[in-house]
Amino acid sequence: MSDDLRDTFFLECFELLEVLESGLLDLSNGDAEDPDDTIAAIFRAVHSVKGGAGAFALDGLVRLAHKFETVLDAIRERRLQLSPDVMKVCHSSSDALSDRVKAEQSGEPVDEARETELIAALSALLGAEEEEDEDASLGGFTPLAIDLPGGDGEQDAGPIALQIDDPEPEPEAAGFKIEWAPNAAFFSRGGEVTRIIRALATLGDVETSCNGEDVPPLDAVTPDAPILRWVIEVATDVADEEIREIFEFAMDDGEVRIGPIETAAAAPQDADAEGQGSPGVEPAPSAGTAPIESPPQTAAATPPAAREMPMEREVAKESQQKKSPPSTPKQTIRVDLDRVEQLINLVGELVINQAMLAQRLDGVDMPHDQAIIDGLDEFRLLTRDIQESVMAIRAQPVKPLFQRMARIVREAAQATGKEVRLSTSGEWTEVDKTIVERLSDPLTHMIRNAVDHGLENGEERIAAGKPSEGVVTLAAAHRSGRIVIEVGDDGGGINRKKVLGVAIQKGIVPADANLSDAEIDSLLFAPGFSTATEVSDLSGRGVGMDVVKKAIQALGGRTSISSRPGFGTTFSISLPLTLAVLDGIVVNIAEQTAVLPLSNIVETLRSETLEVKSVGSDSKVVLVRGVSVPVIDIGVELGFREPLTTLEDKVFVIVENHEGDTHAMVVDQIIDQRQVVIKGLEANYGETKGVSAATILGDGRIALILDVDVLVEDSRNLNTPLAMAMTG
């Protein structure tokens, strides 16, 4: 079996599993618009998985899918009620099916015990009904590997039903005589007498006659009415199975009698067709009998049925034009990601070029020409539209990602013994593909965190007057050109006293620190912070929210927390729509232009309002509302200039690195805030410390995009780590 077909199968499986999972989720949340439709869709999904699995002889997958499908079928046909218990088994089956597909793809072993358990649970749901059904349906479904011949045309047919050279000797080797009276059903199913005769003709010479005795007057004739009886003689030495095979689908639709050709004397009793006799003997013409010419040997000589009725076809064409075309399903094509990336790059260039052109023309003293102005305007709008459309190619809804989280919630709920429901919204919000992929881990962690630490246990909830079932919410939305994803819980909120205590104990903040609620909350993101007093199987130790924050920052995103005691906690992630553009502020440093990513920036302050203190020989700190913030002179760090003696007339950009430490970056001037197209530097310059990429500004100048984390790291190595950064 060719590998790409296998790939297609697994790819499709994962899509089907998404349909399954989202359908089940909608059903359990009561979000399904039309539950019957949803049930039908998930049934089809499992059914298709089974169908494909059968073709690839993935017996284990077939077994599980089959059992699951049988249950879904029972639900679909309302033989089984979709109770919460049934729903639970369905969710588990969906998870197991997903695991099984992954295992089949990777060749890794599956948890057979769990699967067996599930199959038993599914069987239990079916109860007595299954006993009778089971053997028939699975028995009929024998997985059969299809061996596709390769390009060299080798016909490895596997089991062939046609036994061409059946050695069974037929005494009357002359051939077969078939008496046949097709009924109306035969015609209503697209049957054609000529096709059958043609198929017979491939076995040997055919002599056909037709008894038209029952033909009514012409005005009473309808094309489909069963009015003719046929006698067909085939001179062949094949076995009668082959003849029967040709009549396979016609057997039930009329009378068919197949027997050996007899000698002319022994005429059939009931068929008063006169065309009997040995081949070659012209039947005596008589009333009601018309000899039919033997059809040509090749199938292609006669066009298909529709062509035989030119009138009907013309009518059909006409009605077809009047009819509006039925809506087609969404068409998709698969494109190499490299090509899309290339396109995005080129569009980036286009946007920059357009901006440059516009800026240059602005400065040129040109005669006022409305056509040119309009043309440029059109150009600008088109460029923007193209950019948006191209970015949309990479955009994907977060729905599949959210669906995966449903499973995380279920598993976390099981591990903690809490009752938890996941409520999602904004699943159709689209985000750049790369971002969606890289959100999976941080979200998983946040969801587990919400279940593990956010939600109280059932007793505590009931004591607090809440339903015992906790709710974890997962929401996505577009907000001012960014994506905001929120993970919330309706738990007890952050225990700030405990958090502060832990932070002090771990030396994250000094014992006498006086922190606001928001500052305490943000301690959850501090490295090394974990409130789990015992090692939790779930959130684990060592992996804290700081890792989440780091991952989000790597995507150009920001994280924040809000919490209300007794009402729960919400973690928010704000992300750029794509990784190809970046929100930043454009600054001047020692006559160089640079861009600082907005995701790192806390605030900007003018130097004259602040007190700068020297610490040691060449380190400085600036007091921001009483807190010492280490100063980093980017100009010096990047080698643009020598250290300055005074920081007057400068601007401090207060930045936060991935560890949550704040630093004050010294720049000469802030030019503006804008979205810039990211251009990699590595291809031309290799890795440059402190610089993550570059961009081309509208006026054609090249600006370096600064890497705050690296700059902070570097300055620490240079300076004595005296100034301990404090959040706030």
Partner 1 sequence: MKALTVLAIDDSRTMRELLRRALTDRGFEVEVAVDGLDGLEALERSEPNVVITDINMPRMDGFGFIEAVRKGEVSRRVPILALTTESAPELRQRARDAGATGWIVKPFDPEKLAGVIRRVAA
If one asks whether residue 254 binds partner 1 (CB under 8 A), the answer comes out as no
Residue 155 interacts with partner 1 (CB under 8 A): yes or no: yes
Q: Does 315 bind partner 1 (CB under 8 A)?
A: yes
Question: Does 329 contact partner 1 by CB under 8 A?
Answer: yes
Name the residue nearer to partner 1 (CB basis): 75 or 586: 75
Asked if residue 68 binds partner 1 (CB under 8 A), the reply is no
**CA pair distance 141, 63, nearest whole angstrom:** 10
Pairing of strands 470-479, 420-425: parallel
Q: Binding marks (x or -) toward partner 1, 8..37, rule CB under 8 A?
A: xx-xx-------------------------
Q: Which is nearer to partner 1, 234 or 638 (CB)?
A: 234
DSSP, collapsed to helix, strand or coil, labels residue 83 as coil
Rounded Cα–Cα distance for residues 651 and 656 (Å)? 16
Say if residues 35 and 89 touch (Cβ distance below 8 Å). Answer: no
Least Å distance between CB 303 and partner 1? 9
Q: What count of Cα atoms within 13 Å lies in the side-chain half-sphere of residue 711?
A: 30
H or E stretch covering 487 = strand 482-489
Smallest gap from Cβ 47 to partner 1, in A, equals 5
Residue 334: CB minimum distance to partner 1, A: 10
CB contact at 8 A, 635 and 587: no
Q: Which is nearer to partner 1, 326 or 686 (CB)?
A: 326
- Contact by Cβ (8 Å): 381, 350: no
The piece of 246-254, 261-269, 347-355, 554-562 that touches partner 1 (CB under 8 A) is 246-254
Measured distance CA(581)–CA(216) in Å, rounded: 79
Minimum distance of partner 1 from residue 97's CB (angstroms): 15
What residues numbered 679-698 form the site for partner 1, per CB under 8 A? none
- Scan residues 281-310 and list those touching partner 1 (CB under 8 A): 298-300, 304-307
> 237 or 312, CB closer to partner 1?
312
Contact letters for partner 1, residues 127-146 (x by CB under 8 A): ---------xx--xx-xxxx
Which member of 113, 160, 220, 266 binds partner 1 (CB under 8 A)? 160
Least separation, in Å, of the C-beta of 156 and partner 1? 9
**Minimal CA–CA distance to 468: which of 488, 446, 491?**
491
| Contact call for residue 324 and partner 1 (CB under 8 A) | no
Question: Measured from the CB atom, is 319 or 645 closer to partner 1?
Answer: 319
Closest of 677, 506, 705, 496 to residue 576, by C-alpha: 677
Amino acid at 386: I
296 or 700: CB nearest partner 1: 296
Distance CA 421, CA 400 (A): 18
Among 23, 54, 660, 698, binds partner 1 (CB under 8 A): 54
Q: Per-residue DSSP letters for 123-152? A: HHHHTHHHHHHHHHHHHH----------TT
- By CB atoms closer than 10 A (0-12, 13-18, 19+), residue 270 is exposed
The pairing of strands 395-397 and 430-432 is antiparallel
Site for partner 1 in 173-212 (CB under 8 A): 188-192, 195-196, 198-199, 202
| Contacts with partner 1, 76-115, as mask; x by CB under 8 A | ----------------------------------------
Q: Judged by CB under 8 A, does residue 221 bind partner 1? A: no
Q: Rule CB under 8 A: is residue 228 a binding residue for partner 1?
A: no
* Residues whose CB is less than 8 angstroms from the CB of residue 298 and which lie 6 or more positions away in sequence, other chains included: none
Q: Does 5 bind partner 1 (CB under 8 A)?
A: yes
Query: Which residue number, 55 or 376, has a Cβ lying nearer to partner 1?
Result: 55
Count residues binding partner 1 (CB under 8 A): 68
Beta carbon of residue 8, minimum distance to partner 1 (angstroms, whole number): 5
Q: How many CA atoms lie within 13 A of 663 on its CB side?
A: 26
Residue of the chain from 120, 131, 214, 249 that contacts partner 1 (CB under 8 A):
249
Residue 23: count other Cβ atoms within 10 Å of its Cβ: 25
Strand partners, 558: 574
Answer for which of 20, 21, 24, 44 binds partner 1 (CB under 8 A) is 44
Name the minimum Å distance from CB 24 to partner 1: 17
Q: Cα(279)–Cα(364) distance, rounded to whole angstroms?
A: 98
Cβ atoms of 114 and 89 within 8 Å: the answer is no
Q: How far apart, in whole angstroms, are the C-alpha atoms of residue 580 and residue 387?
A: 11
Smallest distance from partner 1 to CB 179, Å: 20
Binding track over 161-180 against partner 1, x by CB under 8 A: xx------------------
Please report which residue ranges of 273-332 form alpha helices under DSSP H.
Answer: 310-322
Residue with tokens 């007339």: 649
Taking the complex as a whole, the smallest distance from the CB of residue 193 to partner 1 amounts, in Å, to 11
Which among 52-60, 393-401, 428-436, 483-491 is the span making contact with partner 1, rule CB under 8 A?
A: 52-60
Residue 471, amino acid: V
Query: To the nearest 10°, the Cα dihedral for 415, 416, 419, 421?
Result: -70
Q: Which of 461, 467, 459, 473 is nearest to 566 (CA)?
A: 461
Q: How far is the CB of 30 from partner 1 (least distance, A)?
A: 22
Which of 269, 327, 514, 645 contacts partner 1 by CB under 8 A? 327
Comparing CA positions, the residue from 612, 588, 587, 615 lying closest to residue 601 is 587
Applying CB under 8 A, which residues contact partner 1? Answer: 2, 5, 8-9, 11-12, 40-41, 43-44, 47-48, 50-52, 54-55, 136-137, 140-141, 143-149, 153, 155, 157-162, 188-192, 195-196, 198-199, 202, 245-246, 248-249, 252, 298-300, 304-307, 312, 315-316, 319-320, 325-329
